[in-house]
Structure formats: C-alpha cells, structure tokens
Chain A
Amino acid sequence: QITLKESGPTLVKPTQTLTLTCTFSGFSLSSPGVAVGWIRQPPGKALEWLGLIYWDDDKRYTPSLKNRLTISKATSHSQVVLTMTNMEPEDTGSYFCVHRPQVTTLQHFDYWGQGTLVTVSS
C-alpha cells in the first residue's frame, strides 16, 4: 500500500526559506519510472503543480517558480524534500506530496499525501 505524508513548519516569515519533507512507503524511488511530485493549493483556490523528481534524479519545475524551487531525494530514507526560497504571503496554502504511477505513459497522480498547511506571515 502506497502512503505519503508531508511534514514541516506550519508558519514561516516572509523572505524565509520553506523546507518540506515527504516521507513515503509502499514503493521505491529507485525503481525505473517512479516519480514523486509536489502540488500546492492556496485557501479556497485551485491546485497548482510545483515540480517532480524522477527515479533517475531528473527534475521538472513549473516555470513561474523554477528559480525558487529545489526538489531532492533521500532514497535510503524514502523521503523527498521541497525547498522554496523567498517565501511570500501569496505562498500560503496546503502543500501536497504526490505519487505518479511507475508506468511512464500514465501521467496523473494516483496517491496523495494528506497535505500540510503553510502560512506565510510576519
């Protein structure tokens, strides 16, 4: 059974760097085809894809936030880390960790973490 869970600070100050960790089980990020991504959702608003890391350590980011995002993996501990620099109040929202199916012709997110709410405020 695949599970993912996000952890990290609930409150960050403007200009600070956010670091979130996704701890997962039920699959290996070393297996060909596997990918883990991050999606966020401001309160009452739509979902926004942030980025994805693949089993081979390739990474993709949304262009509008590319300069602020870094996704990395700690395979031995089944974790993926998201860092976002220069946080602003507009970055307030729930951040979800997601699993993309191993079959590379399937481009959706079949398992989601419960999400973690991050508030940016001084």
Chain B
Amino acid sequence: EIVLTQSPGTLSLSPGERATLSCRASQSFRNTYIAWYQQQRGQAPRLLIYDTSNRATGTPARFSGSGSGTVFTLSISRVEPEDFAVYYCQHYGGSPLYSFGQGTKLEVK
C-alpha cells in the first residue's frame, strides 16, 4: 500500500509570498500519476495539476508541480487571496488503486 504524506499540515503565508507544499510517498513508483486538487471550504475539490506537472484547464500559471520517485511538490509562485484553501495530492497505481494525502491547509498569516 502506498501512503501519501503531505507536509506541512498547515502553511501560514501572506499574499504575495511563495508557497511550497510537499507530498511524500511511502515507496517509490515509476509512473507520474500524481495529481493535486484545491478544495475551498464547503466546495468540491478542483483539479489543479495532473501527471505531476501538467496544469489543468483554468489553472493559473502561478501554480506548478514537480517531483519524482517519492517526493512531489506543488508550488505557488505568489499566493493570491483566492488561493487560501486545502490542497490534496493523489496517486494512481497502488493499493488502493487511487490514494489521497491527508491535505495541507494554506491559511492567511
């Protein structure tokens, strides 16, 4: 079973700062099936990044994804007020077939 561990649990930043969110897998895998989702309070998650580094339709260019092996990163170059939310990473290919991290909350400092 692949377990995804996200860090930090909470990230406190001011608008305009850079955000770096981490997703660490319990074992290395060869595929690039890492996706990132943003969830605003009371809403369904929204796809941001797929295949580790591809921005989904409508994802602003300030969001970027990277990583390989066991460590994956979601970066926000300059945090905007609408970016404060909870972020989840997701992997495909282990057991269970799809797994999610526990989430990172990006909050206003």
**Chain A interface residues (CB < 8 Å from chain B):** 37, 46-49, 52, 60, 62-64, 96, 106-110, 112-115
Contacts and interface: CB of A to CB of B under 8 A. Distances in A.
Contact of A46 (B44, B97, B103): B103
Interface residues of B, number: 24
Contact of B92 (A62, A108, A114): A108
16 contacts: A46-B88, A46-B100, A47-B90, A47-B100, A49-B97, A49-B98, A49-B99, A62-B97, A106-B51, A107-B98, A108-B35, A108-B47, A110-B56, A112-B45, A112-B46, A114-B44
Nearest to B6: A46
A43 to B, nearest CB: 11
B63 interface: no
A86 B90 CA distance: 28
A52 B97 contact: yes
B45 A63 contact: no
Contacts of B88: 46-47
Interface of A is mostly: loop
A17 B97 CA distance: 24
A36 B91 CA distance: 17
B74 to A, nearest CB: 14
Interface of B is mostly: loop
A103 B97 CA distance: 17
Contacts of B99: 49
A12 B35 CA distance: 33
A60 B88 CA distance: 22
B97 A106 contact: no
Interface in B64-109: 88, 90, 92-93, 95-103
Contacts of B44: 96, 112-115
B92 A107 contact: yes
A108 B45 contact: no
Interface centre among B35, B44, B46 (most CB of A within 10 A): B44
Contacts of B46: 112
Nearest to A97: B44
Interface string B27-66: 0000001010100000111110011000010000000000
